[in-house]
Amino acid sequence: MSKFNAAKIEKLKKIDRTFKSLYLFPKNRKTYQPVNKADVREILLMGIWLIGDTIMHLPVINVIKKNYPNSRITVVCEKQSEIILKSQNLVDRFIIIKCPWVAPVNYSLKNLTKFFFSARIANGVKYDLAFEFRGDWRSIFYMNFVNAERKISYDYSGGEYMLTDAIVPDTGIENLTAESLHLLKQFGCTYDETETVPRLNLSMHENEFVAEFKAERRLDGKFLIGIHPGSTQVVKRWDENKYSELILKLSKTYHNCVFLLYEGPNERSTVEAIEQVLEQNNIEYIVINKTLREYVLLVSLCQIMICNDSGAAHIAGAYNIPVIVIFGSRGPEFVFPFGSRQQEMISHKLDCKPCLQTYCKFGTLLCLTSITVNEVFDKVRPIADLLAKNIM
């Protein structure tokens, strides 16, 4: 399946061809000795990930820690990734960036200069290994300026001459976590299947915070149904009116439930539209629009999560919470939250899928509008029936 936007890849390859012709000392033309894992002291990871991607890389970081037990791990990432990873005690040091192709900033000279200037901060340490898991030329170019003995990545969009170890991708791998683990395996890391599932762990203090929230709102004995109706992209966002209708159906079926409406950045209007319907129908709900750290912790309250293709699905999956995920323009193969013990992926097969655009080129959003309330309800009900029975 297509994992990348073809137009962007073509642009990057054009830049790559120009840069390659100017590159004086290709790293990939040398022979390198096998790495002695016990001798590795410093590792840098290019963690330019969204929230869901960060969760999906938890097993990857765990495998690195296991294979290089004497190493310190530094991650170059956005602030959101630091918030998630910091409490998991997997990373020793963070270098926080605002990446122009991930964060909502433009490609101005000022922003690009700021981004690449962070490489000077990274170079306060000399690294034995530097990993980039996506084969993105832009991240490889950044890593080119990092002081590391070995630089490892895929070469999907070029840049192999900047790498000491250009890993050949396995085109049969469709999942993001499996793809990143494959890169580690090709570099000599070992792991077993039990180590491939993303898991979020709560500290004693974090468990106390969740317990206090639950007690204050008298949620003990309630069937807590999580709903995250938002998404950063329109092509991933199921209609909020359909979410409202789904909640009405669920509230009539399960009489001891409270709906937890999770609200992300810039999602107020979406959540507010649902709130109005719930108020009119006297349905018990709580809006959770906390900081990202509190949001992540409070997802653990849910007994089931219903959401779009978003970070919420991966957070819930990493808590082993049953998830029902509605997929729009992109199918579930590459990014499904496989950490959950029960999961239902709702995705219609269309000739135009997977589409990696941020808009619908046909103007119909058929991938989302064709998904009905009854279809989602029918997927939710078998899981919810079992959960509700255990609560009663």
The label of the residue with tokens 């309630």 reads 222
Q: DSSP labels for 276-310?
A: HHHHHTT--EEEE---HHHHHHHHTT-SEEEEESS
Higher pLDDT, 262 or 3: 262
The reported pLDDT for the residue numbered 363 is: 86
Q: Label residue 178 exposed, middle or buried (CB < 10 Å: 0-12, 13-18, 19+).
A: middle
Give 282's DSSP letter.
T
The reported pLDDT for the residue numbered 104 is: 58
Rg (CA), the chain: 22
The reported pLDDT for the residue numbered 174 is: 82
Helix-helix angle 204-216:292-299, to 10 degrees: 80
Confidence of residue 34 (pLDDT cuts 50, 70, 90): very high
Between CA 378 and CA 187 the distance in angstroms is 44
The label of the residue with tokens 């399960």 reads 254
pTM: 0.92
Instruction: Read off the tokens for 121.
Output: 């901060």
Show Cβ contacts of residue 266 under 8 Å, excluding neighbours closer than 6 positions. Answer: 230, 232
The label of the residue with tokens 């009116």 reads 241
Confidence of residue 319 (pLDDT cuts 50, 70, 90): very high
Q: DSSP labels for 130-147?
A: EEESS--HHHHHHHHTS-
Between CA 175 and CA 180 the distance in angstroms is 9
Between CA 141 and CA 143 the distance in angstroms is 5
Instruction: Read off the tokens for 337.
Output: 């939250």
332 preceded by cis ω (within 30°)? no
| Contact yes or no for 353/333 (Cβ under 8 A) | no
Residue 332 clears pLDDT 60, i.e. is over it: yes
| Contact yes or no for 248/281 (Cβ under 8 A) | yes
Instruction: Read off the tokens for 148.
Output: 């590391």
pLDDT, mean of residues 117-141: 91
| Contact yes or no for 211/298 (Cβ under 8 A) | no
pLDDT tens for residues 195-209?
Answer: 999 999 999 999 999
Confidence of residue 103 (pLDDT cuts 50, 70, 90): low
Instruction: Read off the tokens for 226.
Output: 């999580």
Residue 362 clears pLDDT 80, i.e. is over it: yes
User: Any idea which of 145-154, 223-232, 311-320, 356-365 has the lowest mean pLDDT?
Assistant: 356-365
Residue 107 clears pLDDT 80, i.e. is over it: no
Question: What distance lies between CA 369 and its chain's CA centroid?
Answer: 24
Domains recognised in the chain with CATH numbers: 6-195 (3.40.50.2000), 204-391 (3.40.50.2000)
Between CA 28 and CA 46 the distance in angstroms is 19
The reported pLDDT for the residue numbered 106 is: 65
Residue 3 clears pLDDT 60, i.e. is over it: no
